A = this chain, B = another copy of it.
């Protein structure tokens, strides 16, 4: 099977022009099929604030009312996505910006209200890997924003880490998938303040242990849960790393 590299890149990396340029330069160097999935949360928060729309978070997850859905649709699907696309085109990567609604790539279900009403948040139901494979076979580089749709005309806000994991897991039947979670740190840190405390490897048992001891940063927990899910579903290799290290493969390897 051919190699496919999927880079998930966090908002803090893509929202700063300098780190975005580092990322895109490194991304350009990746050989074989490749794809990028991005966030954009802090820009969304800033623009929402300027528009007078309050941001509400529960356990690091955004509550998405109708006004917030419009903000994330335009920030993730428009502003952040198209800047990445233009930057990749300037580097001769044939980038195509996409949300889950485009070509119905990712269909989701509005999250049912349990203890928390997350609003217009979507849980992934189906990845349309046929369309993605067709694009990749034409040497297109998909750049995916974390917006999905329900198939009935409703757009939904979906966590970018989850979207990357779901897409990676689905494509694992057709490619040797390498999934890199790229954020502002060098990997999973045992001490959030100390970059030297990066773990080289992490298995599920260790993760459970660190989680119960409160060693791993709470923001990292859903990312790692997605990573272990993708690993379990056949993704060849998963690495948590930063923009500088995506080409050389340094970071925390998920076992």
| CB <8 Å contact, A82 and B52 | no
Q: A87-B153, A153-B87 are in contact. Are A70 and B79 (CB under 8 A)?
A: yes
Contact of A74 among B78, B87, B94, B96 (CB under 8 A): B78
Does A229 belong to the interface (CB within 8 Å)? no
| CB <8 Å contact, B102 and A95 | yes
For A153, the chain B residues whose CB sits under 8 A away are 86-87, 89-90
Quick one: closest B residue to A148, CB to CB? B86
Identical chains bound together, number: 2
| CB <8 Å contact, A155 and B83 | yes
Q: Chain A interface mostly helix, strand, loop or mixed?
A: helix
Q: A51-B50, A89-B149, A96-B102 are in contact. Are A73 and B82 (CB under 8 A)?
A: yes
| CB <8 Å contact, B94 and A82 | no
Q: A82-B147, A147-B82, A155-B83 are in contact. Are A101 and B77 (CB under 8 A)?
A: no
- 8 A Cβ contacts from A58-79 to B: 70, 73-79
State how many residues of chain A have any CB contact under 8 Å with chain B: 40
Does A85 belong to the interface (CB within 8 Å)? yes
For A52, the chain B residues whose CB sits under 8 A away are 50
For A149, the chain B residues whose CB sits under 8 A away are 85-86, 89
Does A176 belong to the interface (CB within 8 Å)? no
In the bound assembly, the distance between CA atoms of A232 and B108 in angstroms comes to: 46
| CB <8 Å contact, A138 and B147 | no
Contact of A89 among B50, B86, B134, B151 (CB under 8 A): B151
For A19, the chain B residues whose CB sits under 8 A away are none
Does A140 belong to the interface (CB within 8 Å)? yes
Known A82-B155, A85-B102; 14 more pairs at CB < 8 Å: A47-B74, A70-B79, A73-B82, A73-B83, A74-B78, A75-B78, A76-B78, A78-B79, A85-B101, A86-B101, A94-B104, A96-B98, A97-B102, A103-B140
CB<8 Å pairs between A and B, sample of 29: A47-B51, A50-B51, A50-B52, A73-B78, A73-B79, A74-B78, A74-B79, A75-B78, A76-B78, A77-B78, A77-B79, A77-B81, A77-B82, A78-B78, A78-B79, A78-B81, A82-B99, A82-B155, A85-B101, A85-B149, A86-B101, A89-B149, A90-B151, A95-B103, A96-B98, A96-B103, A97-B98, A97-B102, A134-B138
